[in-house]
Amino acid sequence: MGRAFAYVILGGGVAAGYAALEFTKRGVSQGELCIISEEPVAPYERPALSKGFLLPEARARLPSFHTCVGDNEERLTPKWYMEHGIELVLGTRVKSADVRRKTLLTATGETISYKILLVATGARALKLEEFGVTGSDAENVCYLRDLGDANRIFDAMQSCPGGNAIVIGGGYIGMECAASLVINKINVTMVFPEAHCMARLFTPKIASYYEDYYKSKGVTFIKGTVLSSFDIDSDGKVTAVNLRDGSLLPADMVVVGIGIRPNTGLFEGQLTLEKGGIKVNGKLQSSNSSIYAIGDVAAFPVKLFGESRRLEHVDSARRSARHAVAAIMEPEKTGEFDYLPFFYSRVFTMSWQFYGDNIGEVVHYGDFSGNTIGAYWVSKGYLVGSFLEGGTKEEYEAIAKTTRLKPAIEDLGELERQGLGFALTV
Ligand code: FAD
């Protein structure tokens, strides 16, 4: 049994939603496009899961955050897909792909064939077991990648008002979940091996700004150590967390955010991989000309850096999706993807944006005891990265524009003195 489509999007996350909208804008016909997703719901804005979804009041719930609301575009509800003749195959895992035959085999035994395939399989959360710790399946141990995970965190929070949560990991997920837990009046201890939070992006100075704020909200940080085991009661619930430094922390719930791994498994040995993802060119096309890769799973050339990167951020998922569809539908008119890497986060009432690359020397600016702080990264005499907390729309646009221009910087002291003013006058 099988069905055939001109275009198939494999994966139903952020990139899939934005690709679907772009397909309709460029005139895909009824019945030509199909989206296959393991998730039981139509594509949604994944970042909402650690933010609005976990709030105690005015919680974000579907359908309010289906794509593409994150970019002030249309909200693509299941009805929208139906009206546009797009087949949504939900709750269905693809278990194998045959790129030679151009077919996908689903776990339900159906073969779906394509002329063009967009791989948008994203990434999965790394499990503690991959680091030699068991207990991930305990009822009150939570990860956060999809709606099911977010519901689990929400239920765990509801079941322990005023209780203790241990957050393992000091990256995006850890920081955003810790803030949401505190807002829900849960006591939070964050545990991570690095010297400071957001170690892949923040400088020690920026990190301490956020850590101080978190501490003022009651969060405790335990750094430089890792989880070694859980104490689990006869009901299968974690009651305490043992750390490698010997400490024992009582726990009513645990949230684990220790990184992600791109979902490339279906294509290993069939497509060229790079940086842990599917290698694509400036048109988001893989080593097989009928297959494109977008979002977290794609390693694409970043012109500005002169090298390929795999980015795990929502803006890159949205834009790579649009560009791939443009390249598929109008190849002659579509140039190379020219992307300025952009990350953001919102925690408590704070909000930051980062553009570019965090390499080279750093210049900080702003009042680190106030609400607006920032930094520039300067590499080989050029400004390559910009960070800003608490900016206005115009200020964020200014740092983005400045980073894209890559201006030469002769005097770091002068750049520090000008601070945000530098971006505003470039
Ligand atoms: P995903 O959105 O992960 O979608 C992948 C889809 O593929 C899923 O539907 C999955 O079920 C499906 N799939 C995978 N394998 C199969 C298979 N074999 N068969 C069928 N379906 C399959 N980024 C930011 O820049 N800022 C933020 O503030 C931010 N917050 C975030 C908060 C959370 C809680 C999370 C989890 C991520 C956050 N991100 C953030 C990252 C951002 O959400 C991702 O970069 C983005 O979702 C990537 O989109 P994608 O379409 O590539 O992958």
Question: What is the ipTM metric for this complex?
Answer: 0.99
For residue 176, give the ligand 1 atom closest to its CA.
32
59 C-beta neighbours (distance < 10 Å), count: 12
User: Ligand 1: distance of its center to the CA of 345 in Å?
Assistant: 15
Cβ of 140 closer than 6 Å to ligand 1, yes or no, is: no
* Ligand 1 neighbourhood includes 67 CB (under 6 angstroms): no
DSSP letter at 193 equals S
Taking alpha carbons only, the member of 21, 16, 24, 20 closest to residue 45 is 16
Provide, rounded to the nearest whole percent, the portion of the chain with pLDDT above 70.
100
pTM over 0.95? The answer is: yes
What lies within 8 Å, CB to CB, of 319 at 6+ separation is 18, 337, 339
361 vs 305 pLDDT, higher one:
361
Assess whether the C-beta atom of 364 lies below 6 angstroms from ligand 1. no
Give the residue carrying structure tokens 């700004």. Answer: 209
Can you give the pLDDT at residue 203? 98
- Nearest residue to 35 (alpha-carbon basis) of 85, 97, 73, 72: 85
| Nearest atom within ligand 1 for CA of residue 150 | 34
Which pLDDT score is estimated for 47? Answer: 96
- Binding site membership of 402 for ligand 1 (Cβ less than 6 Å): no
| Confidence at 18, pLDDT banded by 50, 70, 90 | very high
39 CA to centre of ligand 1 in angstroms? 11
Over the stretch 170-190, which tens digit does the pLDDT of each residue have?
999 999 999 999 999 999 999
Average pLDDT over residues 409-413: 97
Mean per-residue pLDDT over the chain, rounded: 97
pLDDT level of residue 162 (50, 70, 90 thresholds): very high
> Is 257 touching ligand 1 by the criterion CB < 6 Å?
no
Residue of 301, 126, 313, 302 lying closest to 201 (CA atoms): 313
pLDDT surpasses 70 at 76: yes
Q: Average pLDDT of 96-125?
A: 98
Q: Residue range 237-266: average pLDDT?
A: 97
Q: Which residue out of 14, 66, 264, 310 has the highest number of ligand 1 atoms within 8 Å of its CB and is therefore the one to mutate?
A: 14
- Among the atoms of ligand 1, which is closest to the Cα of residue 46? 43
Percentage, residues of the chain above pLDDT 90: 98
- Residue whose entry in the numeric block shows the structure tokens 């956060």: 144
Nearest atom, ligand 1, residue 266 CA:
18
